[in-house]
Structure formats: structure tokens, C-alpha cells
Amino acid sequence: MTARFDRRRLCAAVICLCSFCAAASDRTLVSAGNTVSAGNTVSEWRLAALPFAVSGEGAQAGPGKAVGELLPKLLLQQLSGGRSHMPLADEIRERRLSAVRLEMQKLFLELSQASREKDAVMLLPESEASRAKKLKEVKETITDIQTRLDAYMESAVAELDELGHDPALQRDFPGERVVLWNESPSALFMSAEAAPDPAGVAVAKKAADEQVQGVIAGSVRLYAGYMAVTAQLFIYPGAQRAVSVTEIGAVSDMVRVAEALAVRMLPAVLNELPVDIRFAISPAAAAERAVITFDTERYLQVPEKLTVGSGIHSVTIEAEGYKTRSFTWDFNGAEEFTVSVNMPEMNVRTVQVSSAVPGSFWLRGIKQPEAEPAVTVNDQPVLGLFVPESGEESFFYIPDTVETAHVSLLPDTDDLADKIERKRKWMYTAYTALILSLPAAFFCYGTYVNEYNAAGRYTDGASVDNWKLASNITAGCSIALGVHFLVQLGIYLYTANKVIPAAAEPAAD
């Protein structure tokens, strides 16, 4: 009996120990699961890079290893910059499927732990009634877990089925800001010594733990001072390869190679939804001559349709004889946009410029040889400079609304800077006199009020009259000095405003 009792206690202890270890494992997996689940709702899309595998001449030497570590860092630097990643529908489904797997694994581990506890209860050295009571409690726990597992599986299958048939899934999903893992392009996701495989378990687990959704991996083949670089982007969870690009260049030109790789990888990183843009330009004559610059691409004819990535784009439309139109627009929220532009016709006319004093003209930055030059005005102001034979030069402009064929100007040849300085001194002198007059005005007025209140008891009427006269005189002086200051301020502002180019006036017949 004793031997049997000891065996039962030993078995129970072993089962409890196994249950404890399993529970510890459960907590680790659940923690990782929670991390991944949180990653499904974050507004950031983390990008990391692994060291590139290097082969060929000098691969094992110091320079070869440096190439394998420097290239992914340069790629991260090129791909960072506050851009937005739009998850594809498959990526969204994979995230949800990963969360479903982890939740089901959590429930299954809870079920297995409860089953082990049930076996442990059968071996406990207790009375039959006590074991029956504990066994009933464990069975109720198992039933509850099974019910939750069945309900979750049913809802998850329905949700995944709905996601699989939703064509608007990607368009309704908000964009995520692209950020670098560890907030720096100089940190690689794993060391080269670990020989990380982007499709392996180690990288997938670390990506889940670090909430990384994109990992760049690649290989470099060295030969005679040149290299062939292949870079790949893997999306997590699932380790799906989104893009693979290859570039060849000199080892000494590593930055250019990284820039070329980044340009070709960027569309896969951003996953911008394509949108169609059509142009409706009026009048028809302007549409025939229109030249469109869309971001950095220039089109000499109006394209029937442009297919570009959604987002903010700059558009400039030019046509000979018509005003240029430029704007920036956020092309988001629809699959097709129509850009309707009305091009006003330019009112091109020739205007002759003259001056009341002798001198030379500069128009649009070019010195004019004529004493009274002619300039073309095409609905844009023309800025000019007049240099008199004696005196100070002055700027002027011809308004875009001018309708006459001849304009003239009366330039101020005085030293404008000296004049402004003199007016400034006069203005500050007037302000100083005003401030100095205020204490006397306040003192006389206060004393007059005191004398008036004390009249008949402490002072006579003559004293009140004297202080009233003094108060009126000092107040009048302060008011006069205030008016003088306002006049000097207006004169100063008027003089300082002369630095603004004056408009050329229509010439008298």
C-alpha cells in the first residue's frame, strides 16, 4: 500500500510539473500572440533589413563583409522618410489569419492543460469524494474551453470567408506610416553570424516579437571590382515575398546601386492603389497646345489617361498663349479622377516705358539700350529698375492690368535710406516728448482733484483755480505732443513704404 501510495504521488508530481512547464510555454506563446494581434491595428508599418549574403571574390575578407552590411543600411536610408504603406488584401487577410491561429493555439493549449489537470486529479492521494468534486470542476472548465473554441472557430471561419470575398478590403483599410525598426537605418535586424533565413522560423518569430511587417534580404555576387546585388522584400506575417530586384554596378559606386534598388523596391513598400486620371482642358485650342507636367514626368500631348499611384501629386498645365495652371491634389478615395481646367487666354501687349528724368532702364533683369524701351506684358507684372544719371536708383513695376501703350514714372532720386533714417529720428523724438509730458500732466491733474475735494476745509478757491489751469495746460501739451507723434509716425511709415516698387503710371498724352 505504501509503495502504491508513493507511486501515485510521484506520478501526480510529474504531471503537475509538466502542467507547470506547459503553462509557462503557454504564457510565452500568448504573449507573442498578443504582440502580433496588436500589430494588426497599429498605424505604423515597421521595416527592417537583414545582412546580405556575399559570395564571389573576397567574400570572406573584410571588404566583402562590409558590402553585405552597408548595402541594406543604404537601402533603409533611401526607403525611409515618412511615407505611407497601403496593405494589400492578401496581407490584411494573412494578418487576420495569423491572429486567428494564435488565438486558437492559445485556446488549444488551455484545453490541453485542463486535460492534464484532469489526469492529475485521478492520481491525487485524496478521498473519492474529494477527487470527484475536483474532477467535476475540471470537466466544467474543459467544457467551457471547448465551447469557446467552437464559437471562436465558427466566427473566425465566417470572418475569413467574408474577407476572402470582399473586393473593397484594401481600399477601405487605412494607410500605415512607414517607420524603421529601431528608428535607425544603421541597425540591422539580425547579425550575419546567425545566417538568418527570411523564410525561416527565427526571423518570423523575431518579426512577430518586434512588430515588424517588412524585412529586406538579399545577396551580393562580387567579381573584379563589380557586384550583382539582388534585394528582396518579405511581408510578415507569412514571409510572403513582395518583390525581388537586381542591380549591377561597381563596388565603389555602392550608393548609386542602393538608390537604383530603392527606386524599384519603393512601389512594393508603399503598395499605392492605382488611380486613373483624365484631363478635360478648355478651350479646345488650349488643349491642342497643352503640355502637362505630372510630378516629374512631362507630356507634350494631353494623355488619354494616366494611371498612377494614389496620393498627393503635383500637376502643371502649360499652353502657348494661355495662362499656366499649377496645383497639388490628394488623389485618394476613388478609382478615377477627372481634372477639369479652364485656361484663360493671355492678354499680350507691348508697353513703352519712359521717365521724367534721364537715366537707363533694367527690365526683367536685362539692361535696355533704348532711352524709352518697349516691353511685352502678358498678364504678369513686369519688375524693373531705373538708374538715373545722378541720384539713387529705384525699383518700379508695370501692373499686369495696364491697358495703355505708354507708361511713365517719376523716380525719387533722393537717398531713400537717409530719408527714412531722418524720419525715424523725428518719430522717436516726438514719442519721447510725449512720454516725458505725461508725468507732469498726471501730477497736475491729481493735485487739482485733491484741491477740489478739499476746498472749503483745507484750501481756498484760488488754489483750486491755479491747479485747474496747470492741469489744463499740461493736458493740452500732452495732447498736442500726441498728435505730433501720430503725424510723425504717419510720415515715417509713408517714407518707409517707398522701398516698395512704385507702379508705373499711364503717360500723359
Q: Say if residue 401 is in the same domain as residue 373.
A: yes
Could you list the pLDDT tens digit for every one of the 509 residues in the chain?
333 334 333 333 333 333 333 333 333 332 233 233 333 344 788 899 998 988 887 766 666 678 888 899 998 888 876 677 766 666 776 767 767 767 777 777 877 887 777 777 777 777 777 777 777 887 888 888 778 777 777 766 666 666 554 544 445 556 677 888 888 888 888 887 777 888 888 888 888 888 888 899 999 988 888 889 999 999 888 888 888 989 998 888 888 888 888 888 887 787 767 788 999 999 999 999 999 998 878 899 998 888 877 777 889 999 988 888 999 888 877 888 999 999 988 877 888 888 878 888 888 888 888 888 888 877 778 888 888 887 777 888 888 777 777 887 777 767 778 888 999 999 999 999 999 999 999 999 999 888 888 776 666 678 888 888 999 999 999 999 999 999 999 999 988 887 777 777 777 65
Q: Residue 487 is part of which domain span? A: 416-502
Task: Note whether residue 507 is domain-resident.
Answer: no
Phi, psi of 124 (to 5 degrees): -70, 140
Q: Say if residue 155 is in the same domain as residue 31.
A: yes
* Number of structural domains the chain divides into: 5
Nearest CA to 388 out of 354, 361, 420, 419 is that of: 361
Q: Say if residue 363 is in the same domain as residue 387.
A: yes
Give the Cα separation of 282 and 300 in Å (integer): 17
Per-residue confidence (pLDDT) for residue 150, from 0 to 100? 78
Give the Cα separation of 249 and 359 in Å (integer): 60
Nearest CA to 175 out of 213, 209, 210, 232 is that of: 213
Task: Note whether residue 147 is domain-resident.
Answer: yes
Q: Which of 357, 381, 409 is the last residue of a domain?
A: 409
Specify the DSSP element, H or E, that contains 312.
Answer: strand 311-318
Per-residue confidence (pLDDT) for residue 172, from 0 to 100? 53
Q: Say if residue 311 is in the same domain as residue 331.
A: yes
Q: Which of 342, 369, 388 is the last residue of a domain?
A: 342
Per-residue confidence (pLDDT) for residue 482, from 0 to 100? 94
Q: Say if residue 292 is in the same domain as residue 378.
A: no
Per-residue confidence (pLDDT) for residue 108, from 0 to 100? 77
Q: Say if residue 157 is in the same domain as residue 226.
A: no
Q: Say if residue 104 is in the same domain as residue 24.
A: yes
Per-residue confidence (pLDDT) for residue 19, from 0 to 100? 37
Rounded to two decimals, the pTM is: 0.44
Q: Say if residue 492 is in the same domain as residue 461.
A: yes
CA atoms within 13 A on the CB side of 163: 18
| Total length of the chain | 509
Q: Which of 409, 433, 462 is the last residue of a domain?
A: 409
**CB burial readout 340-355, b (16+ within 10 A) else e:** ebebeebeeeebebeb
Q: Say if residue 205 is in the same domain as residue 75.
A: yes
Q: Say if residue 201 is in the same domain as residue 264.
A: yes
Specify the DSSP element, H or E, that contains 103.
Answer: helix 89-122
Q: Say if residue 72 is in the same domain as residue 186.
A: yes
